[in-house]
């Protein structure tokens, strides 16, 4: 299950013990209040003190009726808690885990696709930067040769690097 310790299949899970006990005492106090209100209704001419005395006199009867009724309700609540834990462990948590795994797999796939796209963009940018650097180097060498020829008063008819291989200056 979820690692919760239990004495038997019907035992109260540890995390539900405090609410279980608190609910028991709330029910018992409500039963006592019910007896007070019932006696007030039954004997409208009684004073509050007489109602309190009658209530104290009826505590054994309330306890005799209230405790079994409270324990019956608590058994129903306990079985609902056990059923809730069972259904959560059997159906909901596996479904949540499967959805988490699918989300992780989808995230990884999207991350890979995004990384691939970013890698392609970086590769294009690096390739363009390298091509521009190479072109600047070639243009610089061409310009040195042109200036050296001009200094020697020699004719220089070598085309600039942009125009090599029948290319125009616009790269078309």
Q: How do residues 131-140 score in pLDDT, each as one tens digit?
A: 888 888 988 8
Q: Name which of 4, 161, 166 is nearest 82 in CA terms.
A: 4
Residue range of the domain that includes 158: 122-166
Residue 113 counted as domain residue: no
What is the sign, positive or negative, of the torsion defined by CA atoms of 37, 38, 39, 45?
positive
Residue 1 has pLDDT above 60, yes or no: no
Q: 27 with 91, same domain?
A: yes
Residue 7 has pLDDT above 70, yes or no: no
Q: Name which of 89, 83, 81 is nearest 1 in CA terms.
A: 89
| Per-residue pLDDT reduced to its tens digit, 112-147 | 777 677 777 777 778 888 888 888 898 888 889 988
Q: 140 with 102, same domain?
A: no
SS3 call for 13 = coil
- Cβ neighbour number for residue 99 with a 10 Å cutoff: 10
Residue 3 counted as domain residue: no
Radius of gyration from C-alpha coordinates of the chain: 44
Distance between CA 159 and CA 138 in Å, rounded?
Answer: 12
Residue 161 counted as domain residue: yes
Q: How many domains does one find in the chain?
A: 2
Q: 23 with 78, same domain?
A: yes
Residues in the chain: 172
Q: Which residues contact 122 (CB under 8 A, 6 or more apart)?
A: none
Residue 98 counted as domain residue: yes
- Cβ neighbour number for residue 102 with a 10 Å cutoff: 10
Residue 4 counted as domain residue: no
Residue 41 counted as domain residue: yes
CB 23 within 8 A of CB 16: no
Q: 79 with 162, same domain?
A: no
More confident residue, 172 or 78: 78
Q: 104 with 133, same domain?
A: no
Query: Which of 108, 136, 155 is the last residue in one of the domains?
Result: 108
Distance between CA 131 and CA 126 in Å, rounded?
Answer: 8
Residue 11 has pLDDT above 70, yes or no: no
Backbone angles phi, psi at 56, to 5 degrees: -60, -35
Rounded to an integer, the average pLDDT of 67-92 is 80
- Cβ neighbour number for residue 43 with a 10 Å cutoff: 12
Q: Name which of 23, 29, 30, 50 is nearest 39 in CA terms.
A: 50
Rounded to an integer, the average pLDDT of 83-96 is 86
Q: What is the mean pLDDT of the chain?
A: 76
Residue 9 counted as domain residue: no
């Amino acid at each position: 299950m979820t690692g919760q310790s239990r004495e038997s299949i019907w035992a109260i899970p540890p995390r539900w013990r405090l609410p279980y006990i608190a609910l028991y005492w709330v029910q018992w106090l409500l039963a006592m209040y019910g007896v007070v209100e019932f006696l007030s209704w039954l004997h409208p001419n009684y004073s509050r003190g007489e109602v309190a005395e009658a209530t104290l006199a009826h505590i054994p009867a309330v306890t005799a009726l209230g405790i079994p009724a409270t324990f019956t309700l608590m058994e129903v609540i306990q079985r609902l808690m056990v059923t809730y834990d069972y259904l959560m462990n059997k159906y909901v948590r596996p479904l949540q885990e499967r959805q988490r795994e699918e989300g992780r797999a989808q995230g990884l796939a999207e991350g890979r696709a995004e990384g691939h796209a970013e890698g392609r963009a970086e590769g294009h940018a690096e390739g363009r930067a390298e091509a521009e650097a190479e072109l600047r180097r070639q243009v610089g060498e061409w310009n040195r040769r042109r200036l050296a020829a001009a200094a020697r008063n020699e004719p220089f008819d070598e085309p600039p690097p942009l125009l090599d291989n029948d290319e125009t200056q616009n790269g078309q």
